[in-house]
Structure 1
Amino acid sequence: MVSCASQGENSEMNSYISSLMERMTLQEKLGQLNLPSGGDLVTGNVNSGELSELVREGRIGGFFNVKGVEKIAALQRLAVDSTRLCIPLLVGADVIHGYETIFPIPLALSCSWDTAAVERMARVSAVEASANGIGWTFSPMVDICRDARWGRIAEGSGEDPYLGSLMAKAYVRGYQGNGMQGKDEILSCVKHFALYGASESGLDYNVVDMSRQRMYNEYLPPYRAAVEAGVGTVMSSFNVVDGIPATANKWLLTDLLRHEWGFNGMVVTDYASIAEMSVYGVAPLKEASVRALAAGTDMDMCSNGFLGTLEESLKEKAVTEAQIDAACRRVLETKYKLGLFTDPYKYCDPDRVERETYTDEHRTAAREVATETFVLLKNSNRLLPLAKRGKIALIGPMADAANNMCGTWSLTCNSSRHESLLQGLRSAVEGQAEVLYAKGSNLYYDAETEKGAVYIRPLERGDNRALLDEALHTAARADVIVAALGESAEMSGESLSRTNLEIPDAQQDLLKALVKTGKPVVLLLFTGRPLILNWEEANVPAILNVWYAGSETGKAVADVLFGKVTPSGKLTTSFPRAVGQLPLYYNRISQSRPDDDETVFNHYTSNYLDEKNSPLYPFGYGLSYTHFTYGEMRLSSEVLPKNGKLEVTVTVTNDGETDGTEIVQLYLHDVFAEIARPVKELKGYQRIHLKQGASRDVTFTLTENDLKYYNSKLQYVYEPGEFDVMVGSNSQAVQTKRFRAE
């Protein structure tokens, strides 16, 4: 891949941009720093008429939230044909996990542990978005999150920085391809820089505060990985860092991002974050704009601060023309790297829309990738896979809700083209079994509570008692019950924090009533976050977490439910037993008085009076329809020599009754270090496919780089000494051996 850094050194580009800027007025430069919303997809701050006028006046550098290649082409034509310098526009959108072919939500994608699948998703997304006029996606979101109350956990890759870093690179590769040279390769934007996923209390737009050492070791790695992969733009976050809003934090945006990491692309704010600095009590809009520019912000999304105030601030000498020029140059360089100066209509070919949007090939990819993301949480007596025979009762508010299958941040999808789960199951068993259906319950008993969870994708409500009666009548006629329950699509995502993480009340009662019938019950769990499933784990025979699987949900779920595909997903975020455990994550620092016995309450140890410390389902957990046995772990040596390597090998055998894929995980623990280190950290994994009865040696090679961390002086080092290496099927089910590093 050609990185943006290498392109940024292009002397031809520098000469072109310098010549252009010499002809630009101050207002034209400020216009390039202004990024308004068109308002088609979500409520924006300008309508289409106002947007056209801004373009004619040269008062914007780009826009987002406009759908339709004709609209976009018309606005681009205004910029190129009706402005003095003919500077093309950047056109962005939140293409998060698909454009019209929708893939599983990012949290689900991470549970595939398959970077090739994630890159495939991003590639399809780039093809479809670019065919529809979009050249810039506000993705990937790489925020590490360890608190399931935060709704935006659905948009990230979970709690682990190592896995999150690999996923970040895969997204960037998929979107940007060969340096964005092709017409189907688009500009990526990593977000939210930085630390947004550590929001206090899991409350969106809330405070974040942590040490630099924790930042470097636990939260910053995925952002840096995206930069190393050549990501073209970075979006600053809403939260404060060291008490300073990220949008105006010079240490974050200049010292760290540009100087330490070498990023030379463009920094854009999140929606209106410059204006919202006043809410923090930091600065009103005019001063906030000065501080954001000085910190290294280049493009102002929707605050109108740069365009509206910087000219006056320049006269007052609060900013310099050099600062404005630096920001303007980075915006123009971004357009140059994207190829817009050569071909402003690069993404405006109307013939591509039908040819490259929601194609059979793309839908097949979405279906195949979705099956990799499902996590089998429980399967008593091998209830799954189901046989295609008899009568199957599909019951629950998610059973026939095609408009909810795509999950959060799928603004460009057209759910009218998508099958519901009911349609997918009926199609899969046609002529072999009968699928009965009942909605069974509302999302919540209370209609007002439900309104907040279905504000864009409504579900038709019914009488609570009548729905339950219909469900029980349907269940009585069936041989097996499949309950499609959980969150609606709009119960996770931005501004969707929750304090109660159980399945909503009406659905809980429905599930209990279905289990009480004595019929075998399979819970298909729809969710964008970890939920508390204590009762479900104790009482429901089989639980398959299908997250939100996208436009091909019906077919993908049928593939796994009936055994065409064996589930292989593993959790990338811990499932708690209680909200009081949050934040919860496997790679924690040991308590000074750890409690290693959860069978009884032990005074004067670090534990809860009323709950275990451990998660219900740990990081890395996921079952299969087959069974894998791990042999004894073997080390090539008891010593990792300086500048040398050490091999860790384990034999994995599929001794079950079907072929399957296992994700073999390797963790490390630094026994003694200069600062307290996590009890274990993921340092490697391998996805292996084994036929029934087959075995394979899985080998990991460790070097001193795997041992390094940022110490108290933020030096990236390791200290010679003892280390524990762990291998297993999840973060808890591991075997351990110790070696010494020289």
Structure 2
Amino acid sequence: MQDQTLHSLLKEMTLDEKVAQLMQLATPFFEGSNEQGEITGPMAEMGVTKDTVRNCGSVLGASGAKEVRAIQEAHLKSNRLGIPLLIMADIVHGFKTIFPVPLAIGCSWDLKLAERSAEIAAYEASVSGVHVTFAPMVDLVRDPRWGRVMESTGEDPYLNSEFARAFVRGFQGKDLTSDTNRVAACVKHFAAYGAAEGGRDYNTVDMSERQLREMYLPAYKAALDEGCEMVMTAFNTVEGIPASGNKRLMRELLRTEWGFDGILISDWGAVKELIPHGVAADEREAAAKAFAAGVDIEMMTVCYVNHLKELIVNNEVSEELLDEAVLRILALKKKLGLFENPHRGTDEHGEHEVIMSEPHRAVAKKLAAKSCVLLKNNNVLPLQSGKKVALIGPFAQSGDILGPWSWKGSREVAVQLYDGLKGRMTSDKLSVAKGCGVETGTHEELQEALDIAAHADVLVLALGEKSDMSGEAGSRSDIRLPEVQRELIAAIRRIGKPIVTVLFNGRPLDLRDVAEQSDAIIEAWFPGTEGGHAVADLLLGDVNPSGKLTMSFPHSVGQVPVYYNCFNTGRPQGAPDAQVRYVSQYLDVPNEALYPFGFGLSYTTFHFGEPVLSNPVLKAGESIKISVLVTNTGERQGEETVQLYVRDMAGDVVRPLKELKAFEKAVLAPGETKKIIFSIKEDQLRYYHSDLTFTSDPGTFTVFVGPDSVNVKEATFELVK
């Protein structure tokens, strides 16, 4: 269909039909679904009629080629104008082949592999009938109490932006019209959802506009610059106004300033939630405010359907704005080719060939291994051949390693850690015991673990969180391992054997006790379908760990939020002229993270030379080169992520102590040296000033180069304008 044809179609639509295009309902509402379209119970309470469903614009949560085809066919028979449905779903880090959670993917620092994971997820989803995924989630995160940190790639705006671009490229490809193996992406949650107070989900967000623009907005903008088709509103407030009713945020910033002309969709129920937020008295006012703010699609509430027509008839809302919203929805349907082929990509036969294929699982395994972070190693890993290993813990034989957003993933299919090791070790060298559950345990379970530990050489503890302990609505005030697991570590430690702790979880944890009692720690996160194989490869040394943290681990939850790119104070700890007490510090824990941003060990060692600048002066319109020699000083090949940070030493406003500006991965053979060269230009030094102008300051800058945000070597240059 041509654009003019869309306008012609719009003219044929009644007001009711146009309003209904703005509604998104879950799968059970529709004829042809596995639930047979029965509108009963809670669905009936919403006041949804068959006429509403007949004119509805999009479906939430349908998948499976057979079901989606049946829903679409039934809809096209009943819809007066034959307008196809958009099928949308949460394909966050894999469809059925589940990749590591996004926070783990971030720790790979591998943009190409991240893009490939999104491409595979799109392929599996598209053959199952999905057109749109509610991903990527690019919220910047600093508070591990918030369960949804597992959906983000971390605490740095630059790195989050790079991953946002990679995920959008992977989901959408170069041409959604011709490439039916891709899906449209929807970046979320706009905006600043990751800054919820107290790390409590759905909670208030309040910050300066300068902070919002500098730290929290860049990743959303990067996704849109990459061509992301949709944006989802956040549940939180922004400057005292819920995002879904925030006209300044959506109309002025997103639409006018950034020029976004794609679809803006609410999160589940967020339009009606304007009422409990306290900015709308009823559903009618909620509809008026959300629509005025620019929300095109209302997900799973009926404020628009019940009240938008009346608001238009009474001239309280412009029908012209309604037409613009409908045209945006129709335009995406056109771009996806749904008017010509409503069953775009849907392929029952292809499902069997594509989903969970060996090539897809191979990528999942590779990404899982690269996402794991070696946090500690006192020469225990890799496990030595011939040693007797006791595998103990609630995650030793658990399929709960996919994470809370693995919608279509199967725990039964997920490779458990024991199975990953069992295929590589003889039965006399590997024993297994549960030890305890995730949150509870018995004396018998503990005794069994102690018994096998007594006859082993090395003890591998598989510990962590259940998947529902993180993710949406998974906020926790105590981010230590559950007490029963801490007791298990203490009991095992008394045996006196080396302990390797492998963690399966969705957030940075308070690991003080674990670190003190473990000889080695691998942060495996929720590693996905191939997790058991990937972690086994790391434990046995077939793969050398290369992951680096993209979110800091605190010494204590009392430090939270703790992040690397923080501001200095007027009384910084460690200043040459500072008094011992009267500085910004805790009396009981360090200021710094236990494991900082960018940190991760290897089975080899690397030496960094001093950074060398091509010129001590940087002029506008030019660039300077920063080079550093990196040498593998160990005995095996390894991959190092070389990180470049910059600090503006005197700004118009306080500047972060360090800001990541570039990184490069280097694979080095034993004894090999490589020169890594970075380039810095003036535009990389710009930031939002007190008057919100985006510019740079002449003066002194410090560059830092190293394997993480703490262990760095530095040099200085002057910016001259």
Give the shorter-chain TM-score range.
over 0.9
Which residue number in structure 2 is paired with residue 367 of structure 1?
365
Cα drift, residue 429 of structure 1? 1.9
Which residue number in structure 2 is paired with residue 83 of structure 1?
79
CA distance in 2, matches of 1:47, 1:726: 61
Which residue number in structure 2 is paired with residue 459 of structure 1?
none
Secondary structure class of the residue paired with 1:666: strand
Q: Does 1:270 align with 2:267?
A: yes
Secondary structure class of the residue paired with 1:80: helix
1:538 corresponds to which of 508, 516, 520: 516
CA distance in 2, matches of 1:183, 1:214: 39
Which residue number in structure 2 is paired with residue 429 of structure 1?
425
Which residue number in structure 1 is paired with residue 621 of structure 2?
643
Is contact 2:61-2:89 (8 Å) kept? yes
Q: Does 1:48 align with 2:37?
A: yes
Q: How does 1:203-352 map to 2 (within 5 A)?
A: 203-283=200-280, 284-352=282-350
Is contact 2:55-2:79 (8 Å) kept? no
CA deviations 1:430-475 (Å, max 9, x no partner) are: 47x6220100012123xxxxxxxxxxxxxxxxx5211111110111
Which residue number in structure 1 is paired with residue 121 of structure 2?
125
Cα drift, residue 684 of structure 1? 0.4
CA distance in 1, matches of 2:227, 2:430: 49
Which residue number in structure 2 is paired with residue 4 of structure 1?
none
Which residue number in structure 2 is paired with residue 405 of structure 1?
401
CA distance in 1, matches of 2:712, 2:173: 37
User: What is the Cα-based RMSD across aligned positions, in Å?
Assistant: 1.8
Segment drifting more, 210-219 vs 331-340: 331-340
CA distance in 2, matches of 1:55, 1:734: 64
Which residue number in structure 1 is paired with residue 109 of structure 2?
113
CA deviations 1:715-734 (Å, max 9, x no partner) are: 21101111111101110111
Cα drift, residue 664 of structure 1? 0.3
Q: Does 1:18 align with 2:18?
A: no
Change (3 A) 1:505 1:124: same
1:70 corresponds to which of 60, 66, 71: 66
Is contact 1:56-1:82 (8 Å) kept? no
Q: What TM-score, normalized to structure 1?
A: 0.93
1:185 corresponds to which of 182, 201, 204: 182
1:685 maps to amino acid:
F
Secondary structure class of the residue paired with 1:247: helix
Cα drift, residue 601 of structure 1? 9.2
Which residue number in structure 2 is paired with residue 200 of structure 1?
197
Change (3 A) 1:495 1:669: same
1:347 maps to amino acid:
G
CA distance in 1, matches of 2:2, 2:650: 51
Which residue number in structure 1 is paired with residue 133 of structure 2?
137
2:100 corresponds to which of 104, 114, 139: 104
CA distance in 2, matches of 1:90, 1:430: 52
1:529 corresponds to which of 496, 504, 507: 507
Secondary structure class of the residue paired with 1:469: helix
Secondary structure class of the residue paired with 1:428: coil
1:714 maps to amino acid:
L
CA distance in 2, matches of 1:216, 1:13: 37
Which residue number in structure 2 is paired with residue 7 of structure 1?
none
Cα drift, residue 539 of structure 1? 2.5
Structure 2, gaps ≥5 residues long: none
Segment drifting more, 315-324 vs 554-563: 315-324
CA deviations 1:28-84 (Å, max 9, x no partner) are: 1011100012259xxx9x973239974885331011122322111111112223321
Q: Does 1:501 align with 2:479?
A: yes
Is contact 2:205-2:237 (8 Å) kept? yes
Q: How does 1:718-733 map to 2 (within 5 A)?
A: 718-733=696-711
Cα drift, residue 389 of structure 1? 2.0
Is contact 1:54-1:60 (8 Å) kept? no
1:678 maps to amino acid:
P
Which residue number in structure 1 is paired with residue 631 of structure 2?
653
Change (3 A) 1:376 1:87: same
1:364 maps to amino acid:
A
Q: How does 1:164-175 map to 2 (within 5 A)?
A: 164-175=160-171
Cα drift, residue 418 of structure 1? 2.4
1:546 maps to amino acid:
A
Question: In percent, how many aligned pairs have the same letter?
Answer: 42
Structure 1, gaps ≥5 residues long: 1-11, 446-462
Is contact 1:668-1:683 (8 Å) kept? yes
CA distance in 1, matches of 2:50, 2:706: 58
Is contact 1:588-1:678 (8 Å) kept? yes
1:564 maps to amino acid:
D
Cα drift, residue 387 of structure 1? 2.3
Segment drifting more, 328-337 vs 186-195: 328-337
Cα drift, residue 279 of structure 1? 0.5
CA distance in 1, matches of 2:74, 2:305: 19
Is contact 1:728-1:734 (8 Å) kept? yes
2:549 corresponds to which of 540, 547, 571: 571
Is contact 1:101-1:362 (8 Å) kept? yes
2:376 maps to amino acid:
K
Is contact 2:537-2:543 (8 Å) kept? yes
